[in-house]
Chain A
Amino acid sequence: MTQFFNYAVPGVPFGCVFALMAVGLVLTYKASGVFNLAFGAQAFVSALAYVSLIQDDWPRWAAGVIAVLVIGPFVGVILDRLLFRRIRTASPLVKLVPSLGLLVALPQVALIIAGSEPVIPPPAILGNAQRVYVHLGPVPLSGLELSISVVTVVVVVALVVLFRFTPVGLEMRAVVESPRMTELAGVNAGRVSAFAWILSSVMAALAGVLLAPLYSQLDPQNFTVLLVWGVAGAVIGRFSSLPLAFVGGLALGVAQQVIAGYMPAGVIANGLRPSLPFVVLLVFLPMARQRQFDDPLSGCDPPSSAVERATSGYRSASTFAASDGTVRSVGLWHRRLVGGAGDRAPGLLTRRPTATLAWAVAALAVVSALTWVPPDWLLTMTQGVAFAVIFLSLTLLTGMTGQISLCQATFAGIGGFMAGQLANHVGLPVVMGMVAGGVLAALLGVLVAIPTLRLAGLPLALATLAFALLADNILFPNSWIGNGAGGVTVPRPSAGPVSFAASKPFFVLSLVILAAAAGVVKLVGDGTIGRYLSAVRGSELAANAVGIDVYRLRILVFALSAALAGVGGALYGSLEGSLSPDSFNYQISAVLLVVVAIVGLRSITGAVVAGVVYTTLQVAVTTLPSRFAGLVAVLFGLATLSYTRHPEGFLDYLGARVQNAIAHRRAGRLDARRPTTGPGGGADGVPVAIGGAVAPAGEVAG
């Protein structure tokens, strides 16, 4: 018992911080409907401000007050105003992508503003972080642990007073229970939600400032890992109960220390601790989902915006018929089967201008790559092709089913490591190894899918995020998988007399693999599976009722998507010659999703362009001077913000604009060809009719 006590007490300060984070997450989730994954970034921003101010010789208490009570709420209010307020009722993907993008971009922006990274180790807000002040029984308590506990107690008392005894606290409790009900009762829920954002941002800032002394240097990554504990706490609170979330966070902090104490050192102990959030998520998420339906007015949400509805999901041949009016479904098949000619669609350039343009650019790029392009460019292009294969896995999964996976990079890593290990130890040819890697990733995908795919939307995304962290911590460090920091070498393939070791043959091989992957996505999307999936998107209940085994269908697509990611990862590994676990950690997963969502999840072209964009960004970050590298992050953040306005993706947005322009031109020509009828020409309805036909498909369908 004393031993348990010895282990448990040091966990309390951690638990306090996790609890603050969990409470902050639940507050904004219930008040504004957004699960704010940028919370970790907010914590980092305040911690950075705190340490920077102290480095500039500010007293610690003043630095703390500025960081927690000024900078924290300021960032929160900006995010609420600019972004989160606008996406309250959007789909889970549209809500998640911006906060993921900010999670990556916000720390970089803060570092640019701060000018330079602080060099001093972060001090505790009260006392000396390392010095032991008192003993609780046999357990020594350091200044860090004391300051965290004291501040948390103060905050909890303040929160209780606020919620129990003030009008705004009462309103906030009501908003957390049901925002719509509260509005019906005459409360300005927008104002209350703004207050909730401020409060939540203070929590984030506190968590950042309190935990900063744990690390010898500030690193955004540390705060992201902490975020996952907060998320687990919020899930224990079922996304809705503040006290439960607090208790959950506290319990997690204690539990992780106890586990670390009792377990023998080594991979399992070091692995079991980080995997605790994953286990908690798997156990508690199903309950959290139940709870969400309890809001009596949840059915009264305004429908998602017309653009979003008209553009969600992959454009398969049959759903395409709906959006652009060309008859491409059964009618056309029928005519094809009975031998008649289908109606000829309008010219290629008019129908899908961006896709056609992309094909032309791609052809030009391939010819260039094989003739005059310098070797390092060719390397970048090949990387783009490899990542395009990984992006296709998201086109398949997220584009077609609407499900969000934050562990695609994990599958890519598994595929790459597998190919390398098999080549090194068994002597399996690398091309075969790529296939084996894909198969293994698919099997792992099934394992992940079975417990998680009963979830959907946000809970699924969180579960896959937790899985990615789990894999980073206990799968990849193993010598027979990712070999820890050492990484795994992956040779270039050769097929009999043909060697793909040189860069040009390898580029061609990559293109062949990309084409095969694209073929798989296209066949699935246009085939029975694609049709089933769009039925499930339309109504899961009715899809079940016509005999579709929705659960199995999802597992199948998830596995197929994991396989594509695995093949892409193996291809990338073979290109680079070696892979380390960091090549495909959980952050990469998040960045991949954000990039492809911004570019376009609805088409194969989108995945290819995303591959190009992603590698170009990487080159820019690594080759530009560090100040400009930060600018790339800023651009990334801005693109994320613009995504909420164009959830159909940049490519489709561009396509609609170009189509629009072409139609306008045509309308102009038509007008010019008409015999001049004087000013009455405009009045007889022609421009109006054309105007109707010209409007972007999304708006018409809405």
Chain B
Amino acid sequence: MSGDALLVASGVTKRFGGIMALDHVDLTVDAGEAVGIVGPNGAGKTTFFNCLFGLVEPDDGTIVFAGRRIDRLPVWKRSRLGIGRTFQRMELFEGMTVADHLLVAEQAASGTVRIWRDFLHRGGPTPTELHHVEQVLDLLGLADMADRPVDTLDLGHGRLVELGRAMMGTPRLLMLDEPSSGLDSGDTARLARILAETRRSTGVAVVLVEHDLALVESTVDRLVVLNFGKVLATGGVSQVLGDPEVRRAYLGTTV
């Protein structure tokens, strides 16, 4: 799964007061590659994630996505460049239907607020947009829930809607922040299956922050371990998880 570097973060540093949340963290994600970020609580995973996505501005370091510096761009611009993400605490558009979630994302990904289009064509979706929406609905197995308001869905399906929303506009990178949190093992297994299927059919690169090691192992090609804001180890999944230093930091036990 090697190829051109899609995302290159180098020397990303973030302090909160006296706490060094991120200390010169480097990460490279190749096109189509899936990278997992793991680490104990407070290791800086989510801060790093938010730096990549634009919710937190790093004090230092550069982030390049598809050959373009993005570390000073606002969130919505990064999204339009082709980064989709989900949230650890689910963020759905309350009151809207599943299909509308995907449609909003599809239309927003293409850019402009189309006020003239609203005036001239009544703002309905184009056949292409609808086609994309239906493709993703089918991929996620949500087709029969397309017209349900998201408020009526269970958590597992809610997470799938978030995933689907992140996949609209054919992103080149998906950033998933603990997608399994709150899910039972059945839902998590389904999520793993759908993620694998998604990667196979779209070739999208993935950055995954996750505690569920089963989901991590079945999804990612490479693992990065963060501890106290520093990269502790990086490499293949089994190699990294076998590293005694990683086990000590992560499991908190001497092996």
A residues with CB within 8 A of B: 309-310, 313, 318-319, 321-323, 327, 329-331, 333-334, 336-337, 520, 523-524, 526-532, 534-535, 537-539, 541-550, 552-553, 556, 560, 701
Contact = CB atoms under 8 A, between A and B. Distances in A.
Contact of A526 (B76, B84, B122): B122
A427 B117 CA distance: 34
B62 interface: no
Nearest to B75: A544
A617 to B, nearest CB: 33
B98 to A, nearest CB: 9
A548 B118 contact: no
Given A528-B118, A538-B95, 20 more contacts: A318-B100, A319-B96, A330-B130, A330-B146, A336-B124, A337-B127, A523-B122, A524-B115, A527-B122, A529-B114, A535-B104, A543-B104, A546-B165, A546-B166, A546-B168, A547-B79, A547-B80, A547-B108, A547-B111, A547-B169
B125 interface: yes
A319 to B, nearest CB: 6
Interface in B89-118: 91-97, 99-101, 103-105, 107-109, 111, 113-115, 117-118
Tell me what chain A mostly uses at the interface: helix, strand, loop, or mixed. Answer: helix
A272 B146 CA distance: 56
A532 B125 contact: no
Contacts of A329: 97, 99-100, 103, 146-147
B157 interface: no
B165 A550 contact: no
Nearest to A327: B147
B51 to A, nearest CB: 15
Interface of B: 53, 55, 74-77, 79-80, 84-85, 87, 91-97, 99-101, 103-105, 107-109, 111, 113-115, 117-119, 122-125, 127, 130, 133-134, 146-147, 149, 151, 162, 165-166, 168-169
A319 B95 contact: yes
Contacts of B104: 531-532, 535, 543, 546, 548
A322 B145 CA distance: 13
A547 B113 CA distance: 11
B10 to A, nearest CB: 24
B117 to A, nearest CB: 7
Contacts of A534: 93, 95-96
Contact of A331 (B115, B147, B162): B147
B113 A556 contact: yes
Given A330-B103, A528-B107, A543 B93 contact: yes
Contacts of A331: 99, 146-147
26 contacts: A310-B95, A321-B147, A321-B149, A322-B95, A327-B147, A331-B99, A331-B146, A334-B130, A520-B119, A527-B118, A527-B122, A530-B118, A531-B107, A532-B104, A537-B95, A542-B87, A542-B91, A542-B93, A544-B79, A545-B91, A546-B109, A546-B168, A547-B80, A547-B109, A549-B76, A556-B113
A482 to B, nearest CB: 30
Nearest to B103: A330
A528 B97 contact: no
B117 A527 contact: yes
Contacts of A526: 122-123
A621 to B, nearest CB: 38
Nearest to B168: A546
B206 to A, nearest CB: 16
A595 B67 CA distance: 54
B100 A330 contact: yes
A299 to B, nearest CB: 10
Contact of B93 (A309, A321, A535): A535
Contacts of B107: 528, 531-532
Nearest to B130: A334
Contacts of B105: 546-547
A547 B130 CA distance: 18
A359 to B, nearest CB: 20
Nearest to B85: A545
A336 B97 CA distance: 18
A470 B97 CA distance: 43
Contacts of B168: 546
Given A318-B97, A329-B147, A547 B165 contact: no
A512 to B, nearest CB: 17
